[in-house]
Amino acid sequence: MNLAMSSRLLDFTEHRNYADISLPNGRQALKYYQHFVWPYADVISSPPSILPYRIALLADELNSRAIIYSNPARILEQPAFQELQKIGTAAIPQLIRWLEFDPYVWLVALPQLTGEDPVSWQHVTDVAQMVGDWKAWAVSKGFA
Protein backbone atom coordinates (compact mmCIF):
# COMPACT_ATOMS: atom_id res chain seq x y z
CA MET A 1 0.00 0.00 0.00
CA ASN A 2 1.17 3.49 -0.79
CA LEU A 3 2.34 5.10 2.44
CA ALA A 4 1.02 8.53 1.53
CA MET A 5 -2.36 7.01 0.73
CA SER A 6 -2.50 5.18 4.05
CA SER A 7 -1.74 8.34 6.03
CA ARG A 8 -4.52 10.22 4.17
CA LEU A 9 -6.87 7.38 5.03
CA LEU A 10 -6.01 7.73 8.70
CA ASP A 11 -6.61 11.48 8.54
CA PHE A 12 -9.99 10.93 6.96
CA THR A 13 -11.13 8.37 9.51
CA GLU A 14 -9.88 10.61 12.30
CA HIS A 15 -12.07 13.43 11.01
CA ARG A 16 -15.10 11.23 11.26
CA ASN A 17 -14.94 11.62 15.04
CA TYR A 18 -15.71 15.32 14.79
CA ALA A 19 -18.98 17.10 14.03
CA ASP A 20 -19.90 20.72 13.44
CA ILE A 21 -21.92 22.15 16.30
CA SER A 22 -23.40 25.59 16.96
CA LEU A 23 -22.22 27.43 20.04
CA PRO A 24 -24.54 29.75 22.06
CA ASN A 25 -22.73 32.83 20.71
CA GLY A 26 -23.66 31.82 17.19
CA ARG A 27 -20.22 30.57 16.16
CA GLN A 28 -19.46 27.17 14.76
CA ALA A 29 -17.09 24.74 16.39
CA LEU A 30 -15.95 21.15 16.03
CA LYS A 31 -16.98 18.76 18.76
CA TYR A 32 -15.12 15.51 19.26
CA TYR A 33 -17.28 12.40 19.51
CA GLN A 34 -15.14 9.58 20.71
CA HIS A 35 -17.53 6.69 21.09
CA PHE A 36 -20.44 6.67 18.69
CA VAL A 37 -19.65 8.65 15.57
CA TRP A 38 -17.42 5.93 14.30
CA PRO A 39 -17.21 2.66 16.21
CA TYR A 40 -13.52 2.04 15.55
CA ALA A 41 -12.44 5.49 16.73
CA ASP A 42 -10.29 4.31 19.59
CA VAL A 43 -8.58 1.77 17.38
CA ILE A 44 -7.67 4.25 14.69
CA SER A 45 -6.97 7.22 16.93
CA SER A 46 -3.86 5.48 18.24
CA PRO A 47 -1.81 5.59 15.05
CA PRO A 48 -0.32 2.24 14.09
CA SER A 49 3.40 2.21 13.38
CA ILE A 50 4.16 2.40 9.69
CA LEU A 51 7.77 1.35 10.24
CA PRO A 52 7.29 -2.31 9.25
CA TYR A 53 5.64 -1.21 6.01
CA ARG A 54 8.42 1.27 5.33
CA ILE A 55 11.05 -1.39 5.93
CA ALA A 56 9.21 -3.79 3.64
CA LEU A 57 9.02 -1.18 0.86
CA LEU A 58 12.69 -0.29 1.20
CA ALA A 59 13.70 -3.94 1.30
CA ASP A 60 11.66 -4.69 -1.80
CA GLU A 61 13.12 -1.70 -3.63
CA LEU A 62 16.69 -2.56 -2.68
CA ASN A 63 16.28 -6.20 -3.59
CA SER A 64 14.70 -5.54 -6.96
CA ARG A 65 17.18 -2.83 -7.94
CA ALA A 66 20.39 -4.36 -6.62
CA ILE A 67 20.02 -8.06 -7.36
CA ILE A 68 21.49 -7.59 -10.85
CA TYR A 69 24.83 -6.31 -9.55
CA SER A 70 27.90 -8.38 -8.85
CA ASN A 71 29.80 -5.37 -7.60
CA PRO A 72 28.91 -5.02 -3.90
CA ALA A 73 29.67 -1.31 -4.06
CA ARG A 74 26.73 -0.89 -6.48
CA ILE A 75 24.45 -2.66 -4.00
CA LEU A 76 25.55 -0.55 -1.06
CA GLU A 77 25.21 2.74 -2.91
CA GLN A 78 21.48 2.25 -3.52
CA PRO A 79 19.31 4.92 -1.81
CA ALA A 80 17.12 2.22 -0.29
CA PHE A 81 20.16 0.73 1.43
CA GLN A 82 21.08 4.13 2.85
CA GLU A 83 17.54 4.48 4.22
CA LEU A 84 17.67 1.04 5.80
CA GLN A 85 20.96 2.02 7.40
CA LYS A 86 19.26 5.04 8.97
CA ILE A 87 16.51 2.81 10.39
CA GLY A 88 19.17 0.66 12.02
CA THR A 89 18.58 -2.48 14.04
CA ALA A 90 14.78 -2.17 13.90
CA ALA A 91 15.00 -3.45 10.32
CA ILE A 92 17.03 -6.54 11.13
CA PRO A 93 14.21 -8.99 12.02
CA GLN A 94 12.41 -8.37 8.72
CA LEU A 95 15.60 -8.54 6.69
CA ILE A 96 16.50 -11.86 8.27
CA ARG A 97 13.15 -13.18 7.02
CA TRP A 98 13.89 -11.81 3.51
CA LEU A 99 17.26 -13.51 3.62
CA GLU A 100 15.60 -16.90 3.73
CA PHE A 101 13.88 -16.73 0.35
CA ASP A 102 15.97 -14.19 -1.58
CA PRO A 103 19.42 -14.15 0.01
CA TYR A 104 21.76 -12.56 -2.55
CA VAL A 105 21.40 -8.86 -1.75
CA TRP A 106 21.05 -9.45 1.99
CA LEU A 107 24.23 -11.48 2.22
CA VAL A 108 25.96 -8.31 1.02
CA ALA A 109 23.87 -5.79 2.97
CA LEU A 110 23.49 -7.45 6.38
CA PRO A 111 27.18 -7.33 7.38
CA GLN A 112 27.14 -3.58 6.63
CA LEU A 113 23.85 -3.01 8.47
CA THR A 114 24.80 -5.02 11.56
CA GLY A 115 28.56 -4.55 11.68
CA GLU A 116 28.90 -8.29 12.10
CA ASP A 117 29.44 -11.27 9.81
CA PRO A 118 28.47 -14.54 11.49
CA VAL A 119 28.96 -16.65 8.33
CA SER A 120 31.56 -19.34 8.80
CA TRP A 121 34.33 -19.59 6.21
CA GLN A 122 33.47 -23.27 5.87
CA HIS A 123 29.99 -22.29 4.60
CA VAL A 124 30.86 -19.64 2.02
CA THR A 125 30.07 -21.83 -0.99
CA ASP A 126 26.69 -22.98 0.32
CA VAL A 127 24.01 -20.30 0.40
CA ALA A 128 21.67 -22.37 2.58
CA GLN A 129 24.35 -22.75 5.23
CA MET A 130 25.19 -19.04 5.04
CA VAL A 131 21.51 -18.24 5.63
CA GLY A 132 21.53 -20.71 8.52
CA ASP A 133 24.48 -18.92 10.10
CA TRP A 134 22.62 -15.60 9.90
CA LYS A 135 19.44 -17.08 11.35
CA ALA A 136 21.37 -18.57 14.27
CA TRP A 137 23.02 -15.21 14.82
CA ALA A 138 19.61 -13.47 14.78
CA VAL A 139 18.29 -15.89 17.40
CA SER A 140 21.34 -15.40 19.59
CA LYS A 141 20.94 -11.62 19.41
CA GLY A 142 17.19 -11.65 20.01
CA PHE A 143 16.24 -10.55 16.48
CA ALA A 144 14.25 -13.68 15.68
Partner 1 sequence: MGRIEGLRLATLVTMCIETSRKDASYNCIAWALGFSHVRLWPSQDKTFLWPRPKPNGVTVQEFAEVFALFGYQPSAIGFEPGYEKIALYVADRSPEHAARQLPDTGKWTAKLGGGVDVQQDHLRDFPNYPPYGGLAVYGQPTFYYKRKAGSAYSSFEEVAECHGVWPLPPRIISLYEAAS
- Is 108 a binder of partner 1 (CB under 8 A)? yes
Minimum distance from residue 57 beta carbon to partner 1 (Å): 16
The answer to whether 44 touches 36, Cβ cutoff 8 Å, is no
Rule CB under 8 A: choose which of 68, 89, 116, 136 binds partner 1. Answer: 68
Q: For residues 2 and 50, what is the distance between their CA atoms, to the nearest angstrom?
A: 11
119 binds partner 1 (CB under 8 A): yes
Q: Is 130 in the site for partner 1 (CB under 8 A)?
A: yes
Report if residue 67 touches partner 1, rule: CB under 8 A: yes
d(CA 10, CA 23): 28
H helices of 34-117, in order, are: 41-44, 51-66, 72-76, 79-87, 92-101, 104-114
Determine if 29 is a binding residue for partner 1 (CB under 8 A): no
- Residue 18 main-chain phi, psi, to 5 deg: -110, 155
Q: Give whichever of 95 and 119 is closer to partner 1, judged by the CB atom.
A: 119
CB of 23 to partner 1, least distance (A): 53
d(CA 81, CA 16): 38
Residue 129 binds partner 1, judged by CB under 8 A: no
Binding-site ranges for partner 1 (CB under 8 A): 66-74, 102-105, 107-108, 111, 117, 119, 121-122, 124-125, 127, 130
